[in-house]
Amino acid sequence: MRICGAVTCSSIATTSNSILVYISSSISSPSKTKFLPSLSRFSVGRSCFFPQTRSHITIKPSMNLLNRLGFGSTRAPENMDSTIPQGPDDDIPAPGQQFAQFGAGCFWGIELAFQRVPGVSKTEVGYTQGFLHNPTYEDVCSGTTNHTEVVRVQYDPKECNFDTLLDVFWDKHDPTTPNRQGNDVGTQYRSGIYFYTPEQEKVAKESVEQRQKQLNRKIVTEILPAKKFYRAEEYHQQYLAKGGRFGFKQSAAKGCNDPIRCYG
């Protein structure tokens, strides 16, 4: 669930001391004032649904300003440097299977792409590479925890090699835009390959070199060891295959080539 599209009529007003979000609904007669944890989802032109006809945003504060005013993650600062999230992913794949992690912007679309790959037995979306233990979606969207949205792929190397997964990864996102995919902007949308084995690292670096020859802009994809994986909230899992907000299910059948539509 993306925060955009959640209200029918809104106005954001700022003063030097506070940021208020006024939300009025045609259903509820009294107006109510609500504080929202993150406004980064109000990006103009986001691919997910947002009722432009009845909403008005007078100003869009920067995330740094929001953080200084107390928005974003509410966790205690001492929890931000925990060694737990910086440790390796200690989950164990099924016998004969391997894990791989990929960050390619919003994890909804890239998960569906991997679901369709023959030899992939399981996909999960979640958060990794950050400094906060057990982050929530709101924590990650605050831009203060350094997490990235990733899909963790479990695959059978006898049926699907790592090169095949990399081909899907490169084809489904733009690896040249730092901390951004389209209208989705923030550190959680950065491009990354997070390896579990030295072989995966080697193949990933070779793949970057080959892809760079095909592009006229520099690839900014980070290649790092896989760190602790925090499974995202259940509603994010297989989001597009389940139909998203509006019930428009998209096929996750192996080998399916239908265009992937990302929506809120």
Q: Which residues are catalytic?
A: 106
The DSSP letter of residue 186 is: S
How far CA 163 is from CA of 86, 157, 197, in Å, comes to 26, 10, 14
- Do 204 and 223 contact (CB within 8 A), yes or no? yes
Q: Which amino acid is at 108?
A: W
- Do 178 and 189 contact (CB within 8 A), yes or no? no
Q: Which amino acid is at 258?
A: D
CA 7 to chain centre: 22
Burial readout 153-184 (b: 16 or more C-beta within 10 A, e: otherwise): bbbbeeebebeebbebbbebbbbbbebbbbeb
